[in-house]
């Protein structure tokens, strides 16, 4: 996580995810993020690995990162 990114957030934030190179990977990452209450993926780019999501309630980025790690993906930022 970048140093200027709050750990707990409401609103939008972006993750840089390694290995997001195929449609199945994109689907897995999107489903993993969307499983969190109040969280929705609003943009995902396989080319860059950037996933932007919104949260309508406080969400801890470390919880999202842990879920992505369990799904087999590394969060770079």
| Predicted confidence (pLDDT) per residue in 7-37, tens digit | 889 999 999 999 999 999 999 999 999 999 9
Sheet order of strands, 74-75 included: 39-45, 50-60, 8-18, 74-75
Report how far residue 14's alpha carbon sits from residue 35's, in angstroms, rounded to the nearest whole number. Answer: 17
Give residue limits of the domains in the chain: 8-75
Q: Is the pLDDT confidence value at 57 over 90?
A: yes
pLDDT at position 4: 56
CATH class of segment(s) 8-75: alpha beta
Radius of gyration, alpha carbons of the chain: 11
Cβ-Cβ contacts under 8 Å for 60 (sequence gap 6 or more): 7, 8
pTM: 0.85
């Amino acid at each position: 996580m970048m140093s200027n990114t709050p750990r707990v957030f409401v609103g939008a934030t972006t993750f840089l995810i390694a290995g997001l190179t195929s449609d199945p990977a994109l689907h897995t990452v999107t489903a993993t993020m969307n499983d969190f209450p109040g969280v929705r993926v609003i943009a995902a780019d396989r080319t860059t690995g950037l996933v932007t999501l919104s949260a309508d309630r406080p969400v801890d980025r470390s919880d999202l990162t842990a879920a992505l790690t369990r799904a087999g993906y590394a969060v770079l930022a």
